[in-house]
Amino acid sequence: MFLHACKAFIVIALLSMQVAQAGELINTTDRFKQKRELKWISSVKSSDASQMGLTASVFFKGQGTPEKALVHLAGSFDRLEFAQCNGVDWLADGVPVERLSGTYNTVPRRDSPKMIEIMVSIFSVEQLRQLAAASVIEYRVCRSEGRVPDEDAAGLRQLVAALGQ
């Protein structure tokens, strides 16, 4: 009986680890401010500039259509890799997708001496749809090129599909 309980616990723990490592689509509404946020949160934690995680957010005021979307690329590095860069260049199936604007931020990690670098690109909803429709989403930050992980590309498609809800 004890062995059976241990096996069940291990299976549940492994399933929990898999769920915890998957990205998440979140849809929240602030009733007091009449604001809705639809967000894909990446589970990708990378210190490889060619495989950074992608998180995306769309904000609604009331029941209206969103005007802009924020797309964040984030990576954790030993030293600042992208502080001198002017933004992110994007390709959707090899076709350039221009961003409206962008910002750069850093956040220290609590669990290590590394810094998390976050490159934010602001897109129109139509540009976001163009990215999400692509089979392959690529980016360039400074001289580093990469591809959005399949999990995050699928999450971006989920976010865009949920825009109509």
Q: In terms of residue numbers, what domain contains 142?
A: 24-162
Pick the closest to residue 100 from 130, 72, 69, 74 (CA basis).
69
Establish if 79 belongs to a structural domain.
Answer: yes
DSSP conformation letters of 90-143: EEETTEEE--SEEEEEEEE-SSSS-EEEEEEEEEEHHHHHHHHH-S-EEEEETT
Establish if 1 belongs to a structural domain.
Answer: no
Assign residue 93 a region (left: φ > 0; alpha: ψ between -120 and 50; beta: otherwise).
Answer: left
Establish if 123 belongs to a structural domain.
Answer: yes
Establish if 13 belongs to a structural domain.
Answer: no
Residues 131/97, Cβ–Cβ less than 8 Å: yes
Looking at the chain, the whole-number percentage of residues with pLDDT higher than 90 is 52
Summarised one tens digit per residue, pLDDT across range 78-136 is 888 888 887 899 999 999 999 999 999 988 877 777 788 999 999 999 999 999 999 99
Domain count, the chain: 1
Establish if 12 belongs to a structural domain.
Answer: no
Establish if 11 belongs to a structural domain.
Answer: no
Establish if 106 belongs to a structural domain.
Answer: yes
Does the pLDDT value for residue 150 go beyond 90?
yes
Establish if 59 belongs to a structural domain.
Answer: yes
